[in-house]
Structure 1
């Protein structure tokens, strides 16, 4: 049976990326109920096909849809599973940062602010050094924006969103439109909070900016119920009540019927604002209460409670309603001040991440071979301490007649040979495994797999090196490897494992070199 260790990857998202991208396209357009159905089908098929990478991308889409539908606990469960996945944080930096940012948002929405900010800090640190101008970076920054917005860190959210927009130059791209709609929603939520702390002029600027973006994309017939709902709120806030009500009449009942609470909540807000402007205060109150019932986050609920208090002061003016509104203003100002505390917490978490990264870098430098970039003797000794664990397999490798290569072709050519071999070994090790250069031409590979599969890996390494066009480095150069392989036995120490692998290595040399001895 062919080994499954080295699949042919045709996309950074996995071989069957189209399935997961369809799930994400539905989410981007705001069709969250359809997203869940598509994700269920895609993940079942991808599980059968063995495409775990694409399945992971599909599960991200599922998490977004669950969150948008107000099913935060389920969304958080998916996020935690992704973050806990053994392969989840070993991919491209932007992809890993996206997962961290998304799970940070779920944690924040679930009230676990400290945990959420810590993951948000990790995501920020990863994106600081991630390649830009790519779909992955764009998507990660969009997730970072949502996470920051959940913590009401609007300034950070805007910086993230602008970085996301800067990652793509195509104005009519689906992802570009989704990012601008996301940016528009950020500005509206920010504006609503600014109104609550009596910063009306700043709020009006943000609403106008949001409305311009939304009009641009809605005029281009972008299929987004969320974009239309946001535009209805902008119209209501700027006095265009007839235009706002047209959108409400078209979408509100459908969004409620499809369970798309996020869009329905915004449409109820717009409807309430329109009714209040028309003097229908009790009907407006009914709409704000309907919106409040659909809230997921406390900050969302605060928006509608504020609108209810303002409506009450107009419906029943007097000392009682003014006192309630004043008390609410006081509470809102206190919550707004807490944003500064969260910013400080995030800065401290980011600093801790930087220190951890510095320690990791220093440790990596101390355990890395300067020539090949593989682990060095220090890492070899460290891995040997735990090499006696069940499931460990040790592969020892010598370059055949390496001294002759140095003498015949020069030490520079010898170094090139070692670097090339190191690259082959690195390509054949998975997360949790290690390739080490612990002597001049001596290598070791710690494999976390069965002896049968380890033999396949070792033989593949030998064949790759044998088939390499070494003439490109030096005419007449030929390089082969001798190998000894041993799988750990129950109760065996690392030293015993090494001795068995070493004896097999020498058996391979005595048998004529360029071979693997594994028994």
Structure 2
């Protein structure tokens, strides 16, 4: 075996060195470049497939889902949302599972499947209650909950999510910027809906809060299309028509030509609002019609239809336009009252979700290792007793672990076990299991043949070797010995364990820091 003596040109982490491929998709769609995000997602998923990097593939798929959602391709996005929620269920950080559930909730609600959506939203909010609150994963999940709440017209919950995230997201510019845009758009929509039901003072407060957020945002990010579109609408609705028109003139045609429908719709709505404020009712009607043609969701159409009806009553007063406006306002009031029903439905779903989560957590605690969070000996025995064709077992020992404890301290030893556990679990797909069944003894149950299991095990071994253990203790070096075997018909769990254990001891006899399969 050739020893690794040179430093890698990029840092190694348990998720692989190619994670930025997937994150690039997110960067594009967070800044409103949705079609570019889809193109980049094609590339990232193709590279991930070649490399066998499931983490990158999942990140890219998630970015693709957000781009499809922004472009109004909801059914395509829903397929990915179901896939991600299923993969996250019971595996990985709880915040990641909550985010996937909230994303699924938003899509279901936008597609009119409100009961299902509220069920998943309740599960997401219940999961976040038991999640550590100091990570970007938590605040990313919080933003997804806010999006789903906004889709259900639960603006109070959406606003609460945005307020909780505001300070913490300051540690990361990308997340902070995305959170600000989300909050500003929600406040604009909330203000427009409040205007429709005659609550003008409350509407004014929300609209001005949105303009303040967007003005600060645009000072740092002047070229973001969504920021420009939202600010134009906020300015138009708060009486600053000339400023709104300047933004519209600069942005509308380029965005229409680029196919960025969401931003173009907002700019048409802003243009119509500004022209109406300046007395050009015919021009306002033209722009509202253009906005209506680009509307892809029921809530968007409702706002624009109300603008058109109000404008018609002003342009041609009479019984017909007055009746039409009254009927539409009655519908708007009815839908606004439905918010109360949805709040009650969410509360009931939340109680059910909390009971489900409590049961799952109790079962998880009984089958998990307290230090690493992996499955424990009970989990190991359960998996050995329920083997099926195509299961590979990899046994893993930390080399000379007693020496690490004696040389550096048991605290450092615990740190080594925790890091190794994180690396192992990051290589597990849904249905695969990482287990700590002894002091420094780990196991992986994978859905793989021997060739695939060998590739995964060697990748894990290399990540551990190249890990920067100096952060834990100067001079520390950690390696793994590994033995792999695959279940075949007629074998018992004991047979599979004995075969993998025999290979593990062969790896140790041959000098450690190696896999024998």
Q: TM-score, normalised by structure 2?
A: 0.78
CA-to-aligned-CA distance 1:345-372 (integer Å, 9 cap, x gap): 2222222221112112222344457899
Q: 1:498 aligns with which of 491, 494, 498?
A: 494
> Quick check: 1:122–1:353 contact (8 Å CA) kept in 2?
yes
Q: What corresponds to 2:472 in structure 1?
A: none
Counterparts of 1:462-477 in structure 2 under 5 Å?
A: none
Is 1:119 the equivalent of 2:115? no
Q: Which secondary structure does the structure 2 equivalent of 1:265 belong to? A: helix
Q: What corresponds to 1:203 in structure 2?
A: 203
1:253 positional shift: 1.6
Is 1:25 the equivalent of 2:13? no
> Quick check: 1:11–1:17 contact (8 Å CA) kept in 2?
no
Is 1:235 the equivalent of 2:229? no
Q: What corresponds to 2:250 in structure 1?
A: 250
Partner Cα distance (2:503, 2:257) in 1: 73
1:223 positional shift: 1.8
> Quick check: 1:374–1:422 contact (8 Å CA) kept in 2?
no
Q: What corresponds to 1:478 in structure 2?
A: none
**Who wins on radius of gyration, i.e. which is larger?**
1
Partner Cα distance (2:279, 2:414) in 1: 82
Q: 2:12 aligns with which of 7, 10, 13?
A: 10
The alpha-carbon distance between structure 1 residues 436 and 498, as it changes in their structure 2 partners (threshold 3 A), is: farther
1:252 positional shift: 1.5
Partner Cα distance (2:142, 2:83) in 1: 21
CA-to-aligned-CA distance 1:57-97 (integer Å, 9 cap, x gap): 2222222222222222222233233334x467623333332
Q: What corresponds to 2:107 in structure 1?
A: 106
Counterparts of 1:246-395 in structure 2 under 5 Å?
A: 246-367=246-367, 379=379, 382-387=382-387, 389-393=388-392
> Quick check: 1:145–1:158 contact (8 Å CA) kept in 2?
yes
CA-to-aligned-CA distance 1:205-239 (integer Å, 9 cap, x gap): 11111111212222345321211111211221122
Q: What corresponds to 1:96 in structure 2?
A: 97
Partner Cα distance (1:98, 1:220) in 2: 27
> Quick check: 2:312–2:321 contact (8 Å CA) kept in 1?
yes
The alpha-carbon distance between structure 1 residues 104 and 504, as it changes in their structure 2 partners (threshold 3 A), is: closer
Q: What corresponds to 1:477 in structure 2?
A: none
1:329 positional shift: 1.4
The alpha-carbon distance between structure 1 residues 254 and 445, as it changes in their structure 2 partners (threshold 3 A), is: closer
Partner Cα distance (2:99, 2:302) in 1: 28
| Structure 2: runs of 5 or more not aligned | 3-7, 403-408, 462-479
1:298 positional shift: 0.7
1:458 positional shift: 9.5
Q: What corresponds to 1:132 in structure 2?
A: 133
Q: Relative contact order: is structure 1 or structure 2 higher (C-alpha 8 Å, sep ≥ 6)?
A: 2
Q: What corresponds to 1:488 in structure 2?
A: 487
The alpha-carbon distance between structure 1 residues 200 and 129, as it changes in their structure 2 partners (threshold 3 A), is: same
1:445 positional shift: 6.7
The alpha-carbon distance between structure 1 residues 427 and 68, as it changes in their structure 2 partners (threshold 3 A), is: closer
Q: TM-score, normalised by structure 1?
A: 0.78
Partner Cα distance (1:14, 1:347) in 2: 40
> Quick check: 1:374–1:437 contact (8 Å CA) kept in 2?
no
> Quick check: 1:377–1:436 contact (8 Å CA) kept in 2?
yes
Root-mean-square deviation (CA, aligned residues, Å) is 4.4
Partner Cα distance (1:377, 1:36) in 2: 44
Q: What corresponds to 1:472 in structure 2?
A: none
Is 1:160 the equivalent of 2:156? no
> Quick check: 1:138–1:165 contact (8 Å CA) kept in 2?
no
1:282 positional shift: 3.0
| Structure 1: runs of 5 or more not aligned | 400-404, 406-412, 463-480
1:128 positional shift: 2.3
Partner Cα distance (1:135, 1:349) in 2: 26
Counterparts of 1:377-416 in structure 2 under 5 Å?
A: 379=379, 382-387=382-387, 389-393=388-392
1:376 positional shift: 6.3
Q: What corresponds to 2:75 in structure 1?
A: 73
